[in-house]
Chains A and B, each alone.
Chain A
Amino acid sequence: MKSFFLKQRYLIDFTLSSLLRRSGKNIGLLLVYTLIVFMLASVMLFTHALRNEAGHVLAESPEIILQRMIAGRHDLIPGGYLEKIGQVRGVMEKHGRLWGYFFDPAIKANYTLMVPRDRSLGEGEIVVGAGIARTRGVGIGDILSFRSADSRTFSFRVMDILQSDSELVSSDLILLSEAQFRDFFGIPEGFYTDLVLRVRNPKELRTIAEKLTLKLPDTRPILRDEIMRTYDSIFSWRQGIVFILMAGAILAFVIFAWDKASGLSAEERKEIGILKAIGWETADVIRMKFWEGFIISISAFLLGYLLAYLHVFYASAGLFESVLKGWAVLYPEFQPIPYIDGLQVATLFFFTVFPYTVATIIPIWRAAITDPDTVMR
């Protein structure tokens, strides 16, 4: 057993010397490989963390939201629908929700304006999300002026800024009073953006949703479960963001491993020929090449993973900001909570280290079983 380990150490010594002889090429290879692992690991860590965070936070969103559809479009819903719904068993509470969008031409950003139920705001008073405060450069007590749909100018005083650690859900919010909201958008009394129903027992949600569509056929209910599944699916492995971002990296890796597997350089062939000529056995050559593949791939994996961890959980995944931001001006500043799935890391390890190591061995095996004289020519 001891001799086995000693032999492996000598093989590693030899392999490292061999790699260092072609240091330029191998360092380049290691950098590219590390970059690919870094990309894959960053996407994986980022989406898994967001998926968990979204699941935890959105579990508190309304159980049922009822939207009115007219000609295939979301329309204002009359308050009278609350009476039409009447007493549906299992519904604890129901009320209208007022919210909408406002495009601010000053910074070309979209805001979400909303009437809060948990606080009362006076005329001309607003509470803004930290993203808006940062982008517009406003603080508590400052004035923000917007032009309404009928071209009147409204000046609002910023009374408060929503907690910056909740930016993931509140970055672009502006909270204002119901009267101001209706006046600003010209929404008549008795109409709401949609209705919210609070349900005690989640098992009854689907039955209640079904009753609602029968009672009010021009509406569609959105269940909390669907909201959560929407975010679960966009951050899952096989679809959405992950797939788009990973597709390029995976393809690059496939090309990379394929290139390695499909042939040997003349120099490598010559090296194998010499080793065989001086008495190395085929198994030793293969072991040496295994170490070569393993040293490069494990180093790339460990470096790539560690850099990805720092990037996502200590640098707020800054490289993804431009991808997620698109044309938007507002983007939340947030530090993802590091939920790590051990199985995902193991999968990444398997898919990055294993194929490359195998891809290194196969052509070597072909070369190593041929006659040294032929290989060297």
Chain B
Amino acid sequence: MHMRKSDLFLISLVFACILVAVTFVDAHWRVLNAGSHLDGMAQMVRQLELTDLSLFTEARYTRHLSQADYHTAFQDHPLAIEHFPSGSLIHPPQLLQGTDEVIFPETALPD
């Protein structure tokens, strides 16, 4: 039997929507099963006292992003310009984004 184009389209649409729903179910199932993996990683972070993700290992201020200060990106020499590719993808750590006044109202030294 010859199938109408609209039927073919609607069936494909429903099938694709079911697949999208399956991604949500799959994601939910995998998140539930990832508990032990995440806990293992969290335990390692606690035991080794880690502070950062090892996503950007090319420069020290991107490897330990949260530990960087204002100068790290530019301290190779006095006119050094930040030049690592990942440096353009990420921001300075939150500590340097204007929160210091709130935390340390009496400090006389800049970070």
Contacts and interface: CB of A to CB of B under 8 A. Distances in A.
A117 B49 CA distance: 9
Given A58-B51, A340-B24, A342-B24, A165 B89 contact: no
A337 B6 contact: no
Contacts of B66: 222, 226-227, 230-231
Interface string A116-134: 1110000000000101000
A57 B45 contact: yes
A337 B39 CA distance: 13
A25 interface: no
Nearest to A110: B57
Contact of B44 (A17, A169, A240, A331): A169
A295 B106 contact: no
B76 interface: no
B89 A118 contact: no
A4 interface: no
A339 B51 contact: no
B31 A338 contact: yes
Contact of B27 (A163, A210, A339): A339
Nearest to A112: B63
Interface string B19-44: 11001101100110010011011111
A167 B49 contact: no
A330 B44 contact: no
B53 to A, nearest CB: 6
Interface in A297-335: 298-299, 302-303, 305-306, 309, 313, 323-332
Contact of B69 (A170, A220, A226, A298): A220
Contacts of A326: 56, 58, 62, 84-86
A289 interface: no
B55 A60 contact: no
Interface in B57-111: 57-60, 62-67, 69-72, 75, 84-86, 88-91, 93-95, 97, 99, 103-111
Contacts of A229: 94
Nearest to B51: A61
B41 A57 contact: yes
Chain B contact residues: helix, strand, loop or mixed:
helix
Contacts of A339: 27, 31
Interface residues of A, number: 93
B54 A330 contact: yes
B73 to A, nearest CB: 12
A186 B48 CA distance: 22
Given A74-B69, A110-B58, A220-B111, A244 B45 contact: no
A229 to B, nearest CB: 4
A239 B16 contact: no
A172 B9 contact: no
B5 interface: yes
A321 B85 CA distance: 13
Contacts of B108: 217
A244 B87 CA distance: 12
Contacts of A324: 55-56, 86, 89
A338 B26 contact: yes
Residue from B37, B40, B84, B95 with most neighbouring chain A CB atoms (10 Å): B95
A244 B57 contact: no
A305 B105 CA distance: 47
A122 to B, nearest CB: 18
Contacts of B67: 65, 67, 74, 194, 222
Nearest to A196: B49
A338 B74 CA distance: 36
Given A65-B67, A112-B64, A210-B105, 8 more contacts: A60-B42, A61-B49, A169-B52, A222-B93, A295-B9, A306-B16, A309-B23, A326-B58
Q: Which 5 residue pairs of A and B lie closest in terms of their CB atoms, listed nearest first?
A: A326-B85, A328-B58, A338-B27, A12-B6, A60-B46
Interface of B: 4-7, 9-10, 13, 16-17, 19-20, 23-24, 26-27, 30-31, 34, 37-38, 40-60, 62-67, 69-72, 75, 84-86, 88-91, 93-95, 97, 99, 103-111
30 contacts: A12-B5, A16-B5, A16-B6, A60-B43, A60-B45, A61-B51, A65-B51, A69-B111, A74-B72, A110-B58, A163-B40, A169-B54, A171-B54, A209-B104, A210-B103, A217-B107, A223-B95, A226-B94, A227-B66, A230-B94, A231-B66, A234-B65, A239-B91, A244-B88, A295-B9, A302-B17, A306-B20, A324-B56, A327-B85, A332-B54
